[in-house]
Amino acid sequence: MMDDRRLSPNFGERRGGAVPSLIVIHYTAMESCAAARDRLCDPLAEVSAHWLISRHGTIDALVDEAHRAWHAGAGEWGGVADVNSHSIGVELDNRGNEPFPEPQMAALEHVLQGIMTRWSIPPHRVIGHSDMAPDRKSDPGTRFDWQRLARQGLSVWPDLATPGAPARDFVSQACRFGYPALGEDVVLRAFRLRFRPGATGPVCLADTAMANNLALRFGVDEADAQA
């Protein structure tokens, strides 16, 4: 049951009869979880999320999952432009430059398992804010442990040991996986934030191999995209 004292008024109906098919993970980039909650519940701020998780592992439900929260903003993933109507947003209490504590990660895993079960969302549809808005967002950032989630089936990670077709160009494969087509520099930055934090320089074979593997395993086939 949701605590009415903590609910956000910032939500609406999902457009076009959409149901959640994505989960978007954010960091709050604020000084405290209380400050983040106040902002997410402030009608003047016009922002919200379905879930807020403190660094201590406290879980606050702010918007009913059936409703459209205002967390994603402009962006796209897998050809879906109205990400808010198709997603559930999870905010993590983190300033953006610090590790995510164990209690917070454990609570996130619990929340993700529930959302994915309720809405039949597959692991490759769990993304970061920087994935769907790579030209303007960097959360959940380089300190977030995507591999940990992937090991538990709550997200995905490239498997370069899996045989596949020869690697094609980086951008086309990254976009086939889901990234919006915003140019090589923008897509590369977002891709590395998630899969190769700390990597620098131009696109290299490691980037292309990872993008190729993800596209082969989870991307939309070209024939399906044209259908």
Give the catalytic positions in this structure.
91
Q: How far apart are CA 219 and CA 226, in angstroms?
A: 14
Report the 10 Å Cβ neighbour count for 45.
Answer: 13
Phi, psi of 34 (to 5 degrees): -60, -40
Strand order in the sheet with 51-53: 59-61, 51-53, 87-92, 22-27, 126-128
Listed in sequence order, the DSSP H helices in the chain are 33-40, 83-86, 102-119, 129-132, 146-151, 170-177, 184-195, 205-218, 222-226
